[in-house]
Structure formats: C-alpha cells, structure tokens
Amino acid sequence: MSSLRLATAVNIRAFQNLTNALSTSQGQWTASIDGEALADEIGRFRVWAGNLGALQKGHSSLDYRLRDSPVLSNNALKLLHELEHNLNESHAVVSGIRLPYEAQGGAAEPEQDDDDDGFYSEDEDDEGEGEPNNELKVRFEDIIDIIDNLYKLSVRIRTPTIRSRSLKASSYTQKDPETGVDVLSTYAELDLKHVQELLSDLRRPFPEDKEIEQDCLIIRLSKSITLRRRNFKYWKRHRDKLGAATGDEVFQAGVFTSVEGPSDTFYHYKTRRTKSKDWQDFSIRDRGDTASSIFG
C-alpha cells in the first residue's frame, strides 16, 4: 500500500548520496554533472513529491489517491524505479565503485540485437563522431527526462474523472447545525414545485395537451436542478477548504512561498546549492489557479 511512498523516499536518499559523492570528488566530475543543476533537479523532485503527497501517509498520500488506479500507480512506480536506477549507477561512478562505461573499453559496450536495422545506431554514430559518449551525462539527461515525465503524469493524476466528481457531489450533504436536517433535501421539494409550476405555465396556451402525462419529465428536471445545487455547494466547500490552507510550504530541501498577482500566481522555490551557502530561486507560474489548488 505504501510502495510509492517508499520508492519516493529511496530516491530522495539516492539524490543525497549522489550529492555527497559529488561534493567529495574535488570537482572531478563537474564537466559531466553540474552540482547546481543537480540541486535544481532535487528541488523539482521534492516539489513533485510535496504536491502529490508522495511522502505522506493515510488519506492524503499518493498511494491512497491511486488505490483504484492501478495503471497510473504502476506507471508512477516504474518511473521512480528508473530514477532510482540512474541515481545509483551515477553514484557508483562518482564514488569510484566502478569506472564509467566509456573508460571500460569494448568489454562494457552493450550487446546489439542481430535483427537491428542500424537506423538508430547510424544516427548515434553520426552524433558521436565529435566526442565519445559520456555515461554520467547520459544518465543525468535521463534523470531530467524522468522527472519531466513525473510532472506530466501528475497532471493526469490530479485530473479528476467525471464519474468520481459526480459521485462526490451527489453524496454531499449540507446539514443545518441546529436541526441536523439536510438543507439540500429541502431544496429538492422546492425544485419539484418550481418545475411543476413552470411547465403548467408553459402548457396554458395548449389546453388540448393537458391530458398528456409528463410526471417523469418533471421529476427528472427537478432532480437535475437539485444535483446541480449539490455540485455548486460541493465545489464551494472544496474551494473554501483549500483556501483555508496556509500559503507557505516547508520542505527539508527548501522553502515554498506564493505571490499572487492580478491574473497569475508565481510559486518561488528556494533550494540550497551544493557548494555555496546561498539560496537559488526559481519560479513556477500558474495561470488561473490559487496557491492552494496546487497543494490540494
């Protein structure tokens, strides 16, 4: 049940191990992996984990959110495992456990399929004529690409389905604090009377059609009006709930603050650089949403 949370925690530990190995390598691998660029990717990964609750437990966790979506859960878990693999292999090279592939000679070259038509290999040969392939550079590019895919997947995770929204709205109740009566159920009776009066007014110019029985249509229209009321009340309650949250989000690797403008909201994330003690800022713009909608 907590597989995504554990995989996320393992990746954060792997990021820390790689950062520590780079800081003690005396700049040997600076040309392959830049410390500041790696710190940015750590910040991006922590933002992703914080937004989706990947490190949380209980009902606010990503595991609980994807409990009924095995496809999304498996895709997220697959990306996290790929990220862990690239981080561990990069750490093995930087820490000196093994040599990079380009330094191991022909014995470490991956085997090619006999049925390969050579299309991609020719392109790679053309691109690699200027300089040999660098394993750390390739793995760091893979790390960036995996985090990009995690952000793309988060858009799909955070997009609710029409069915789930309808079920939540249809089951929402607003009880009076004094009497305990569902206010929306009372509105259902008023909606039914309103539709009956409206249709009776519309039928007045056609007295010959009074014999037509349309009770099913009246009930259907009144129920749709009541359901729309529940939708509005549910969305308002959800908005108020998110709006009550604080605008500051604190992570172990940095601090999140939000600045709201007339039409845009900027999210400033500060992450500490690897070598220096100052803070590095970068902003994420979100149009049309509030700060609370990102973390809700």
Q: What is the pLDDT of residues 13-45, one digit of tens each?
A: 999 999 999 988 877 888 888 889 999 999 999
Choose the most confident range, by mean pLDDT, from 49-53, 113-117, 156-160, 244-248. 49-53
> For residues 151 and 48, is the Cβ–Cβ distance under 8 A?
yes
Question: In the chain, where are the structural domains located?
Answer: 3-159, 166-243
> For residues 134 and 100, is the Cβ–Cβ distance under 8 A?
yes
**CA dihedral (96, 99, 101, 102) positive or negative:** positive
Supply the pLDDT for residue 130: 52
Supply the pLDDT for residue 81: 97
CA distance 22 to 16: 10
CA distance 18 to 12: 10
Q: In this predicted model, what pLDDT tens digit does every residue of 135-164 receive, in sequence order?
A: 899 999 999 999 999 999 998 888 765 455
CA distance 110 to 64: 39
Cα-Cα-Cα-Cα torsion 74, 80, 86, 90, nearest 10 degrees, comes to -160
Q: How much of the chain exceeds pLDDT 90, in percent?
A: 25
CA distance 110 to 135: 12
* SS3 at position 200: helix
Claim: this prediction has a pTM higher than 0.85: no
Q: What pairs with residue 283 in β-bridges? A: 268
CA distance 103 to 278: 35
Look over the chain and give the mean of its residue pLDDT values, rounded to a whole number.
74
